[in-house]
Structure 1
Amino acid sequence: MKTSMPPSIVPTPGRRKPRGRLPIAGVAGAAVVGFWMLMAVFGPWLAPDDVGNMNGDAVFAPISAQYPLGADFLGRDMLSRILQGAPYTVGVALAAVLVASIGGTALAMFAAARGGWFDTVVSRLVDIQLSIPTKLLALIMIAAFGSSVPVLVLTIGIGYMPGAFRIARSLAVNVQAMEYVQAARARGESLVYITLQEMLPNMLRPVLADFGLRFLFIVLLLSGLSFLGLGVQPPDADWGSLVRENIIGLSEGSPAVIVPAIAIATLTIGVNMAIDGFAGRKRRGG
């Protein structure tokens, strides 16, 4: 007797498992982040005016054809100031998060793979550093060595490294117990091979998500330090510095105060939207 399969389980030629689509919010967030990344690279060359050009008659000038984003407290074009400040806000934050994430993740993988006393000592040292607030560490380092871009990158990178270490170690401890890692150990593979070829590819997604969140935290910390006058120093300026130096124009509703704050907000919101979008794609796509 001829039997037929239910329509729901009849195999369809060429049918593939549907993949999760990136939500519109995630696409928008990634576009905003990509835009500011491009401005961090090409912004200084695209600036329509030299940041040193001052016009005493245009102090806190409103938005106009000559000043598309207004003018600051010295009559300088704010559009040019924003574009010139993008490398210091985005670039310094990106360099610091690379130090934190790469350093913390590498140390965590080697500690988890090595195990024993090495893992114990490193974990306890990280716990000690975690007890020191990142802002307090930054203030101490800046007071000791002064405020410069290398000091900011290293200080903030080292300050956020323990958090990256803890996240990566929790992942690495689970991964290194898997059968394929044990098989690599049985084959006599080196520690470097095991960590880079067997462990890292299987913990990359959570590490990248943590990378994005840590970048967001560092942008806000840098902006806060610059607002206090402890970040990027004149004549250079990041967006936090632009808010601080134009704060006296707040009572006049000057765009020189609002525009850099909007730039910071769009970058941080864009990072959040991009992270949420990619996380949602992973859940829907399996």
Structure 2
Amino acid sequence: MRVVGWSLVLVPLVLALVGPWFVPDEPTRGAPFAGNSSLGTDFVGRDVWHQVLAGGRTVVLVAVVATALSYLLGVPWGVTAAMTRLRVVDEVLMRPLDLLLAVPSLLVLILVAAIAGPGLPVLVGVVALVNFPDVARISRAAALEVAGRPALEAMRLQGETWWRTSIVYPGRSMVRTLAADSGVRLTGALYLVASASFLGVGVAPDAADWAVMVDRNRVGLFLQPWAVVVPALLIVALSVGLNLVFDRALRTGART
């Protein structure tokens, strides 16, 4: 299972990071949905294989950066809410997040698509914003269990610094919980980036992007299926592989 997981991750990851170097600066165009190359041509006559090589970097990098940003914002937010001794502070920090969670992520994407123009910073911000409330709630739940431990109270009575009692000690205890969540969170970010591409948020409608390829080429699915099947399989393989790798790492860590 470990080999399967890493294989599913490495194939799309290598294509996403290295593939753009092997794409011609000015790709030739032929007839749409033709079969005159290895994987045929797409809806505007571009070589599908070249589009596959060039189309993964945006999906992968945006998902990784947005997920990292959601943790950079959500973990301190949740830990602060859990470690405070004032209930009013906890309520002020967490109740607005409940409102954000009540709004479907696709609705957020549609609103952003209507208000803001395409742009990768906008896409990163939207994906991070959608994931931020969940990360903050999970971090708070993990930190609450730590906050009630006698060991933490003993550290406070011994005069340990705020950094050790509120950051270092809770952080060490939350690592496994956050690691387990990060695989699922990154998978969700990948699918959210793909959904955003369908709505025109972040990338141009004719950009070399795996998610855009799935959306724009679906009209010719029965004429040229590779233009849809290959990028879709790469996105699914990366998502499934990431969860297999994270699950394997967590099981290995539990035995050591």
Taking structure 1 as the reference length, what is the TM-score of the superposition? 0.80
Q: Per the alignment, do residues 34 and 255 of structure 1 end up closer, same or farther by CA in structure 2, a change over 3 Å counting? A: closer
**Are the counterparts in 1 of residues 119 and 202 from structure 2 also a CA contact under 8 Å?**
yes
Give ranges in structure 1 of 5+ residues lacking alignment.
1-24
**What amino acid maps onto 1:54 in structure 2?**
T
Provide Cα deviations, 1:99-137, integer angstroms capped at 9, x if missing partner: 112211121112212231222211111112211112212
User: What is the CA-CA distance between 1:229 and the residue it aligns to?
Assistant: 3.2
Secondary structure of the residue aligned to 2:221 is helix
| Pairing partner for 2:66 from 87, 96, 118 | 96
User: What is the CA-CA distance between 1:204 and the residue it aligns to?
Assistant: 0.6
**Are the counterparts in 1 of residues 121 and 202 from structure 2 also a CA contact under 8 Å?**
no
| Pairing partner for 2:212 from 241, 245, 260 | 241
**What amino acid maps onto 2:199 in structure 1?**
L
Aligned partner of 1:266 in structure 2 is 237
**Are the counterparts in 2 of residues 142 and 151 from structure 1 also a CA contact under 8 Å?**
no
**Are the counterparts in 2 of residues 36 and 267 from structure 1 also a CA contact under 8 Å?**
yes
Provide Cα deviations, 1:244-283, integer angstroms capped at 9, x if missing partner: 2212221214311211111112112212322332344355
Q: Which aligned pairs between 1:225-236 and structure 2 lie closer than 5 A? A: 225-234=196-205, 236=207
**Are the counterparts in 2 of residues 100 and 164 from structure 1 also a CA contact under 8 Å?**
yes
**Are the counterparts in 2 of residues 27 and 274 from structure 1 also a CA contact under 8 Å?**
no
| Cα RMSD after superposing both structures | 2.2
User: What is the CA-CA distance between 1:94 and the residue it aligns to?
Assistant: 0.7
**Are the counterparts in 2 of residues 69 and 259 from structure 1 also a CA contact under 8 Å?**
no
Q: How many positions carry a matched residue from both structures? A: 255
Secondary structure of the residue aligned to 1:246 is helix
Aligned partner of 1:251 in structure 2 is 222
Runs of 4+ deviating beyond 6 Å: none
Secondary structure of the residue aligned to 2:208 is coil
Give ranges in structure 2 of 5+ residues lacking alignment.
none
**What amino acid maps onto 1:72 in structure 2?**
D
**Are the counterparts in 2 of residues 54 and 74 from structure 1 also a CA contact under 8 Å?**
no
Whole-Å Cα distance in 2 between the matches of residues 279 and 216 of structure 1? 17
Whole-Å Cα distance in 2 between the matches of residues 183 and 235 of structure 1? 60
Aligned partner of 1:17 in structure 2 is none
Whole-Å Cα distance in 2 between the matches of residues 182 and 38 of structure 1? 48
| Pairing partner for 1:73 from 43, 57, 61 | 43
User: What is the CA-CA distance between 1:179 and the residue it aligns to?
Assistant: 3.3
Pair 1:49 & 2:24 matched: yes
**Are the counterparts in 1 of residues 113 and 199 from structure 2 also a CA contact under 8 Å?**
no
Taking structure 2 as the reference length, what is the TM-score of the superposition? 0.89
